[in-house]
Copies of this chain bind each other. A is one copy, B any other.
Amino acid sequence: MINYPNKKKSTSQKLSSTANRGMGLELMINNTNDFYLDNDLAVVYKKPIPIQIVSVDYKARSAAKIVEAYYKLPSTTDYNGIYKGKYIDFEAKETKSKTSFPIKNIHEHQVLHLDKVKRHGAISFIIVYFSLLGRIFFLDSDYVYKFYHRSKSGSKSISLKEFEEFGHEIIEGYRKPVDYLKIIDEYYLKAPQK
C-alpha cells in the first residue's frame, strides 16, 4: 500500500468526491483510528512494517543508526485492535482500477490469517479503496476467502459489482474518513455507534 501524506488534493484525482479522498488510504485509516482513539471508541493500530535488520551503527548511543536492512513479507495483516470487546483485524488496499480489485494484491497468508482469526471469534475483513472512483468498500473475510479460492481456477479479481453486492460501502465522514466501525455496528453488532 502506498501512502501519499503530502498529496492533499491533486488534479489527477478529480473524481474524488471530497478532499479526504485525495489522501492515500493508509493516511485516511490512520486519521480514522486516531479519531476512534481520541474519542475512546476503539483501540486499533497499524502494525509497523516488518524489517530484517542486518547492520546497525552504534556510534551515537542515543540514536543507533540502522545502515543495512530489508523489507520482510508481513506475517499477518496491517491493522488490528479492539472494539466493544471484539478483536478486529483487517487489511487495507488501494487500486487504480475502476472496475475490479486484483486478488493478487493480498497475500495468501493474509487471506488465511483473516480466516483463522475469524474462526477464533474476530471480526475480520478487508478495506478496498477504488481511488479513481473515490469509493471505499468493506468486505468480510468470508468473501475474501471465497474469492481468493475462486481465483485459482476462475476470475483473478473481485469486481466492483461484487463489492457492491457482497461488501458494504463506507461513506466518508470528515473526521472519520474511513468509518468502518459504522459498518461493524450495523452489520455485526446491530447497535448504533456512539
Q: Which residues of A contact B (CB under 8 A)?
A: 40, 42-43, 45, 47-51, 53, 63-72, 74-76, 80-87, 89, 113, 116-117, 120-122
CB distance from A75 to the nearest CB of B (A): 6
How far, in angstroms, from A71 to B87 measured CA to CA in the complex?
Answer: 28
Whole-angstrom distance between the alpha carbons of A68 and B51 in the complex?
A: 12
A66–B65 touching, CB < 8 Å:
no
Kindly list chain B residues whose C-beta atoms are within 8 Å of the C-beta of A65. Answer: 68-70
Docked Cα-Cα span, A86 to B75, in Å, equals: 21
Which of B48, B70, B80 has a CB less than 8 Å from the CB of A80?
Answer: B80
A117–B69 touching, CB < 8 Å = no
Determine the residue in chain B with the shortest Cβ distance to A124. B82
